[in-house]
Structure 1
Amino acid sequence: MKQLSQEAFKRARNWVMMNGRPLEQALFAHEFENGPADDVLNALHAYQNVDGGFGNGLEPDIQLPDSSPIATSVALQHLVRFAEEPKADTMIREAIRYLEYSFLEERQGWLAVPEKSNDFPHAFWWTVHENGMSWIDANWGNPSAELIGYLYLFEEYVTALHIPKLIDQAIQHFLSLESFDSEHEVYCYLRLFAMVPSQRTEKVERQLTKAVQSLVKLDRENWENYVPFPLKFIPSPGSPDFGIPSFKVEDNLDFFVEKIEENGKLTPTWEWNDYPESWEKAYQHWSGILTEGTLSALSRFERLSK
């Protein structure tokens, strides 16, 4: 079991603080240096639009300034951690307003990004095609399943949508899947079931295990690429293991310790095909996100040297 040295931790910390976005800097400071929650919320608020949704490159592969359901899902992943803060409560209320406004009745959910995102730099997988959908939208649960979870969690702010019906539809969709083409759809379902634990029936657990087993890449030679590695499904000690051997989780942690020891940060394992100047900026932003997030994971698993 490898531990990240104090020296490597400081190198990674300094990289985030010098090169990361204000959001990742505030998240790091909050987790490791007793930084105020207000700094995180102020940084996150810079990405929120007047309609309550989030955009402005919060998801760095989408540089659309306007709101999108996918960027709003990213924001809510942060906001749920600070839901007791008055400022977060206001931001959540406005985000729920946006989700109700952007809900598509015929889809019983959301499309990840609006067509207007084509007018701004973006990764090719976010391009909206003539049918009004990006490749991401082939898998309904990303982000609709996750967004339904936020509606449930903050139901006091929902005025127009019938949450029990939406939850039931989301679960029936998941249980009907015979193959799993998108790890991101499964991540969204894992977040949904974390928010609505009463729905984690034995049938759901069997389907989740089947999904994870079909997607997870267990061998470290794969981890240099953009793949669903063990920590994507087991984000903290005590999480369900879905049949992933514990020694593979430990090896995955060792892998990231080695990467940070070697490079002082983590960098994206993917790239855009177009917009090279914008990708250079997004690459830096992603490096901050990945580095801060991995340091947080290593902390949860007690992999930081004292």
Structure 2
Amino acid sequence: MGIFEGGREFVRRDARVVERRVFAAVFEGADPAGVVDALRGYRNADGGFGHGLEPDKRCPDSTALDVETAFDILLAAGARDEQLIGGACDWLQSIATPEGAVSLASPAIEGYPRAEHMSEWTYVPGLNPTAGLVGRLHELGFEHPWRDQAAEWCKAELTKGLPTEGHALLETLHFLEHQPDVDLDQIRDWLPKVSFYRADAADPSYGVTPLHFAPAPDSVWRQLFSDAQIEAHLDRLVADQQSDGGWAITWEPPSAAATLEYRGIVTVDALRTLQAYGRLPLD
């Protein structure tokens, strides 16, 4: 069974409806409106998203992490819904600091099963996720007063320097992608100093890799990495496909169901990245 066929079977067998809808939109020409329909099941009356859309916490309450996941799903499928995006922005504005920053989650998650890393640090407003949300809204082409206010907060925060943690840097680059006069050399020199950055494709540990920063060859940040780095990580991505057709994860979600849900997410992401780089024969 080939890479694509194996991944397709895993998604069809074990992934959630929303990932199956994304897969169908990306690889089978399905109407992206089906992705929007699937997302509606995770939307709350306050306009935010919850219900474990991001599977590491099983909390029904809205979190910025779930909103970011919803935006990623829309972008992956090439879908757009003004009501969903606008409602999510209104909710973000309602929970933001006076300056516009938001946190990944809130203490509401403590009443529900959650991964060990979903703890107090996720309650602190920061570039992760504020910068990433602003960048995604730019990519979606959606204007909103919260987006503009949060962008100004991000600019002020970045005068203190780039983040020293890999996920926060990844979120920051989503923001900087839509800003003028970005210093690529500064970012390239900064990467080795960042925690959870996995530069070596042979390193099996948890972290963000060059393919997270540049999931397609036309990504703005592709020029941060050599051809050899990208090819090595693509080889590793191919090699990491499991015997059941899906890709594994390198952390512990709160349940077996959450593990399968996250495997569905990373499997669709892996197939999209391999396709973008011309490494996915459509069996």
TM-score if structure 1 supplies the norm length? 0.82
Q: Which amino acid counterpart does residue 54 of structure 2 have in structure 1? A: E
The gaps in structure 1 that reach 5 residues or longer are 1-5, 128-133, 273-277
Instruction: Return closer, same or farther for 1:288/1:145 CA change in 2, 3 Å cut-off.
Output: same
Which residue is equivalent to 1:141?
A: 127
The gaps in structure 2 that reach 5 residues or longer are none
Which residue is equivalent to 2:172?
A: 189
Instruction: Return closer, same or farther for 1:104/1:172 CA change in 2, 3 Å cut-off.
Output: closer
SS at match of 2:222: coil
Shift, 1:135, TM fit: 2.0
Instruction: Return closer, same or farther for 1:231/1:140 CA change in 2, 3 Å cut-off.
Output: same
Does structure 1 residue 103 correspond to structure 2 residue 96? yes
Superposition CA RMSD, Å? 2.4
Shift, 1:213, TM fit: 3.6
String of CA shifts for 1:211-267, please: whole Å, max 9, x gaps.
434333232331x22112120111111323354221111011111112227552101
Q: How many residues align?
A: 277
SS at match of 1:217: coil
Instruction: Return closer, same or farther for 1:33/1:113 CA change in 2, 3 Å cut-off.
Output: same
Partners of 1:81 and 1:19 in 2: CA distance: 19
Partners of 1:284 and 1:271 in 2: CA distance: 11
Which residue is equivalent to 1:154?
A: 142
Q: Which has the larger helix fraction?
A: 1
User: Bigger CA drift: 73-82 or 63-72?
Assistant: 73-82
Shift, 1:113, TM fit: 0.9
Partners of 1:236 and 1:162 in 2: CA distance: 25
Report sequence identity in percent.
26
Report if aligned partners of 2:23, 2:268 keep a CA contact under 8 Å in 1: yes
Partners of 2:147 and 2:30 in 1: CA distance: 38
SS at match of 1:190: helix
Partners of 1:162 and 1:14 in 2: CA distance: 39
Of 80, 83, 88, the residue aligned with 1:90 is: 83
Does structure 1 residue 267 correspond to structure 2 residue 248? yes
Report if aligned partners of 1:136, 1:142 keep a CA contact under 8 Å in 2: no
Which residue is equivalent to 1:173?
A: 157
- Following TM superposition, the consecutive aligned residue runs of length 4 or more in structure 1 with deviations greater than 6 angstroms are none
Instruction: Return closer, same or farther for 1:97/1:202 CA change in 2, 3 Å cut-off.
Output: closer
Instruction: Return closer, same or farther for 1:98/1:264 CA change in 2, 3 Å cut-off.
Output: same
Instruction: Return closer, same or farther for 1:253/1:43 CA change in 2, 3 Å cut-off.
Output: same
Partners of 1:16 and 1:46 in 2: CA distance: 19
Instruction: Return closer, same or farther for 1:241/1:151 CA change in 2, 3 Å cut-off.
Output: closer
